A and B are shown apart, each in its own frame.
Chain A
């Protein structure tokens, strides 16, 4: 439900995996198959000669070092920035706004309802239910639009479809209070609390 870039994650992981797998296999082959060594020598020596040529042709005027080192350092810094940006993209998407609408009444203005309204109201409504070991309600912003995620932890043996139907009723009541249809995702899950807690016996 959050805006983790799932496709980007997969592409970048596959690329990085291919690179690592390729270099690892090359090292293994170099160590085990003698015939690979001459091929590697001829190829890498040529490449290395080209690189040294490039470095020696780009020296500072009057200095021993190449300015290409600075370029390399800057490129690596850019790579680091990209990696930090990639990490920062993971798991984003929580928001604190349930509904926002322009109200042309008197006086005119924006009406905003915070996510805490839904969270507190639903928590209150679900509290004390014998078939639930816990419930968390979070507001997300999916592509800029508010959505609710209701995570329920039922006790062992609770029928998920009946629970979902009952919570749907609560959500409908909430929608009529807020006055707006909110997309909702109900996740009925299992956790340590439900696994080791007592089973619900009577209902």
Chain B
């Protein structure tokens, strides 16, 4: 499977001189870009800076301050534990730290989206294909449902980066062949050629549903 990926990458590389770097495009497509959080952070800094400009501008022309004199504010910060209830101070600090942690983790975590690359398909000059995990799951669920001969409500598929979990709830009195379902799911996955390739697992619930 990996060889076909390499071939395709090589294809893209060979025509890379007249097209964009598809590997980069695919990376961006499977990872979150943090655009929304960035805009929120920028707006936060904008508002704070706007207030700073207002106060320092007002101060520069010798007018009285709008909300608080910068010197007074700084003096208050300097002798901080005094002049404010410790509970309020701790709460403000906690909120600030929480906000900072959210921004920091957004900056550092990989931010992988629930998507897989599709390596299989047609021949050379193939377009790059990215598939949402949800679509893969519904396709596998259909296949597993046909193999197990149950209704759509009795199959639940969870697709994650490296694992596919197929939960089948058999109809009461009609046993479900676990291996057959697994073979069907594996066959479908082999045709999809996902990248990274997940490992399928089938769990047949011990209790059945009645009247399905």
- Residues of chain B within 8 A of A41, CB atoms compared: 78-79
The size bracket of the interface on B is 35 or more
| Interface residue ranges of B13-41 to A (CB < 8 Å) | 15, 18-22, 25-26, 28-29, 31, 33-35, 37-39, 41
- Chain B 144-168 interface mask (CB, 8 Å, partner A; 1/0): 0000000010000000000000000
* B interface SS class: helix
Q: Is the CB of B127 within 8 A of A185?
A: yes
Q: Is the CB of A164 within 8 A of B42?
A: no
Q: Is the CB of B127 within 8 A of A171?
A: yes
Q: B residues within 8 Å of A by Cβ?
A: 12, 15, 18-22, 25-26, 28-29, 31, 33-35, 37-39, 41-46, 49-50, 52-53, 56-57, 59-62, 71, 74-75, 77-81, 86-87, 89-90, 92-108, 118, 120-122, 125-132, 134-136, 138-139, 141-142, 152, 188, 191-193
* A interface SS class: helix
Q: Is the CB of A24 within 8 A of B93?
A: yes
Residue A32 lies at the interface, judged by CB distance under 8 Å to chain B = yes
Q: Could you tell me the distance in whole angstroms from the C-beta of B98 to the nearest C-beta in chain A?
A: 7
Q: Is the CB of A6 within 8 A of B28?
A: yes
Q: Is the CB of B45 within 8 A of A83?
A: yes
Residue A130 lies at the interface, judged by CB distance under 8 Å to chain B = no
Closest A residue to B89 by CB, please name it: A31
Q: A residues within 8 Å of B by Cβ?
A: 1-2, 4, 6, 9-32, 34, 37, 40-41, 44-45, 48, 51-52, 63-65, 67, 69-70, 72-73, 76-77, 79-80, 83-84, 86-87, 90-91, 142-143, 145, 147, 150, 154, 156-161, 164-165, 167-169, 171-172, 181-190, 194-195, 199
A128 to B22, CA, bound (A): 30
A72 to B55, CA, bound (A): 10
- Residues of chain B within 8 A of A10, CB atoms compared: 34, 106-108
